[in-house]
Amino acid sequence: MALPKLFLEKQVRFSAKDDLNLLKEVLAENPYKDKAKWEAVAQNVKENVDKVINVTSRRVRERTQLLLQQFQKENYEALKSEGVTVTPSKINKIKGNESIMSFIKEKCDVDQNGEVNLRKEELKLERERFEMEREERRQKIENDKQQQLLLMELIKTVEKS
């Protein structure tokens, strides 16, 4: 028997921006030391999300765990592809609270570096655009000068005739 819609919660879709906000909040609050802080993280995430969604402490905790599992899987596959033997003790080190917090810090730093690089590229393109516009204005001024000189010469020749 299916549950009525009243009891079903709407599925929450986290964007990459939402994930980064979530990780920043987890990093700021560190709910792994105090489980009660998950509610504060959920409230902060709810305030920082562009769209209106119902985010509970459980959803925030589960999403964080999912992101960490994805990281562990990628990290495990990267180590495996490099030929490193992954033992259970290494996996347990990855699962510790300190490595979780370092992962979140790393993820936030990578995002900030990406934003800085993106902004640098935007500024570089904007500078190039300004240079092109400046050159176009310089050409226009030069053309206007040439046109005025030609008109002056034409007026002089007309006056002589």
Q: What percent of the chain has pLDDT over 70?
A: 64
Handedness of CA 81, 82, 87, 93 (dihedral sign): negative
Cβ atoms of 80 and 86 closer than 8 Å: yes
Greater model confidence, 159 or 82: 159
Greater model confidence, 132 or 96: 132
Cβ atoms of 104 and 26 closer than 8 Å: yes
Q: What is the pLDDT of residue 132?
A: 93
Q: Kindly report the average pLDDT of the chain as a whole number.
A: 76
Handedness of CA 117, 51, 35, 73 (dihedral sign): negative
Q: What is the pLDDT of residue 52?
A: 61
Greater model confidence, 115 or 152: 152
